[in-house]
């Protein structure tokens, strides 16, 4: 079981929230579909009960984020990170430059366009991909860097009624969306 990939994802999600909302030493609850956890952990479970069993026998209970707790919640797995985990991320994890710039772009301009987002990607690397999402998708386009060291996430964007939103996905989750 590849627990390091999950820990990194948890840290990344907490850091994103801290960039957006600021630091608060409080419990963080993250919700993952079983399919996402299967992909990150490199295992196969069929449902939330099997995933809880797998997580219960893993080494994820005592991490640099503190003691993680797992529960099933409406078909997803809730991972509860104690306040010490939020403090660890705040004190030991640098703000990723691209993510910080992306959040700042949205903070400064709630009406930013996909062209603005493309320009931001290009300012970090000319070697990025911007693809239209399939008809009927929840998003208009997906953007990502070919070199994952710039930023490993896939950013799905949607323009609707004068506003643009984004969601970040792992490569594995993106493959499941397509």
144 token code pair: 């990502």
CB-based contacts of 177, cutoff 8 Å, min separation 6: 137, 156, 169
Residue 82 sits in the same domain as residue 106: no
Final residue belonging to a domain, choices 31, 65, 92:
92
Domain boundary among 70, 92, 114: 92
Domain boundary among 92, 127, 152: 92
Does residue 84 share a domain with residue 48?
yes
Question: Within the chain, where are the H helices?
Answer: 3-21, 34-41, 48-56, 83-92, 97-108, 114-124, 171-177
Contact 34, 47 (CB under 8 A): yes
pTM, two decimal places: 0.92
Count of domains forming the chain: 2
- Host domain of residue 64: 3-92
- Domain check: are 20 and 87 in the same one? yes
pLDDT in tens, 41-70: 999 999 999 999 999 988 887 899 999 999
The pLDDT tens digits of the residues spanning 93-135 come to 999 999 999 999 999 987 899 999 999 999 999 999 999 998 8
Q: What is the pLDDT of residue 89?
A: 98
Residues 77 and 125 in one domain: no
Contact yes or no for 90/10 (Cβ under 8 A) = no
Instruction: Mark whether 65 and 112 lie in a shared domain.
Output: no
């Amino acid at each position: 079981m590849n627990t390091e990939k999950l820990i990194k994802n948890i840290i990344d999600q907490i850091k994103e929230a801290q960039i957006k909302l600021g630091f608060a030493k409080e419990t963080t609850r993250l919700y993952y579909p079983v399919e996402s956890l299967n992909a990150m952990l490199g295992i196969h479970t069929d449902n939330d009960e099997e995933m809880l069993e797998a997580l219960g026998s893993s080494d994820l209970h005592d991490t640099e984020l503190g003691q993680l707790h797992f529960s099933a919640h409406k078909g997803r797995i809730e991972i509860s990170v104690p306040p010490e985990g939020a403090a660890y991320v705040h004190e030991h994890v640098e703000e990723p430059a691209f993510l910080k710039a992306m959040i700042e772009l949205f903070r400064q301009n709630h009406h930013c366009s996909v062209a603005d987002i493309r320009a931001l990607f290009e300012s970090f690397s000319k070697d990025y991909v911007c693809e239209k999402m399939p008809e009927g998708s929840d998003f208009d386009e997906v953007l990502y860097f070919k070199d994952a060291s710039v930023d490993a996430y896939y950013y799905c964007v949607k323009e609707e009624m004068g506003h643009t939103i984004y969601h970040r996905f792992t490569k594995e989750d993106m493959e499941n969306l397509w």
